[in-house]
């Protein structure tokens, strides 16, 4: 009886493992961690056809990692639970710790984007509390409205050029986007530096920030 129970248990766990074996499905989960999106928007962001996106979403749906609602003619997908986003944060950290290929890829991209060298969350939190930095969220507005780091100002990367004149030239500006493998913040920093602004980035996104903030709160108790 116990053996059969364990076999069934791990078979259910394996359903999720099998679902996550696709690189494209992992990318879709990372994208949906930023907020709900239509199939068309996921297709645009991932470079996949609508048909391929739909197939991957069906697999994720069967594993109960995503859910959907209908708005008019659109089907909107989102993560079924925040624990899915938490799992992805843990997967990112595990991958970086255990796979030298990921470490090498991060070093390679840092060589291409010198401005990508990030500041730490500890430094950012301390400087924000003292009012020394302006934090900007360069993700699309809809993602900012779904969730953002407290105190951040929405400044989508596509609109950044229009807002450059209103950004302070006597204060450090810190940009963030979708997490450690998103390059929008790096591009934003490069644009701002070209205009003579003191710009930096954090590599973490909203979910990493909240995990860090929760850990800090527990340490203070």
The 3-state DSSP class for residue 147 equals coil
Q: Are the beta carbons of 169 and 196 closer than 8 angstroms? A: yes
Structure tokens at 218: 């527990």
The DSSP secondary-structure symbol of 168 reads: -
Is 19 a catalytic site residue?
A: no
Structure tokens at 162: 């229009």
Structure tokens at 38: 């239509």
Indicate the burial class of 203 (C-beta count within 10 angstroms; 0-12, 13-18, 19 or more).
buried
Q: Are the beta carbons of 22 and 71 closer than 8 angstroms? A: no
Angstrom distances, CA of residue 201 to CA of 45, 47, 118: 22, 26, 5
- Of 133, 136, 174, 177, which one is the catalytic site residue? 177
Q: Are the beta carbons of 29 and 53 closer than 8 angstroms? A: no
Angstrom distances, CA of residue 207 to CA of 7, 38, 77, 163, 218: 33, 21, 18, 26, 17
Catalytic amino acids?
Answer: 177
């Amino acid at each position: 009886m116990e053996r059969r129970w364990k076999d069934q248990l791990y078979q259910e766990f394996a359903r999720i493992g099998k679902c996550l074996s696709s690189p494209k499905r992992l990318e879709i989960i990372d994208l949906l961690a930023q907020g709900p999106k239509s199939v068309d928007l996921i297709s645009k962001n991932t470079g996949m056809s609508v048909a391929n996106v739909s197939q991957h979403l069906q697999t994720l749906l069967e594993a109960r990692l995503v859910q959907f609602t209908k708005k008019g003619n659109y089907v909107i997908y989102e993560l079924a639970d925040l624990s899915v986003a938490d799992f992805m944060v843990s997967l990112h950290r595990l991958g970086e710790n255990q796979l030298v290929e990921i470490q090498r890829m991060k070093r390679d991209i840092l060589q291409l984007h010198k401005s990508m060298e990030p500041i730490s969350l500890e430094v950012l939190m301390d400087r924000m509390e003292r009012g020394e930095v302006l934090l900007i969220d360069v993700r699309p507005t809809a993602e900012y409205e779904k969730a953002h780091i407290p105190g951040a100002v929405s400044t989508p990367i596509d609109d950044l050029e229009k807002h450059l004149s209103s950004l302070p030239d006597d204060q450090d500006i810190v940009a963030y986007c979708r997490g450690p493998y998103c390059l929008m913040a790096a591009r934003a920093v490069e644009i701002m530096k070209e205009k003579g602004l003191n710009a930096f980035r954090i590599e973490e996104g909203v979910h990493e920030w909240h995990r860090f903030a929760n850990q800090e709160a527990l340490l203070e108790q």
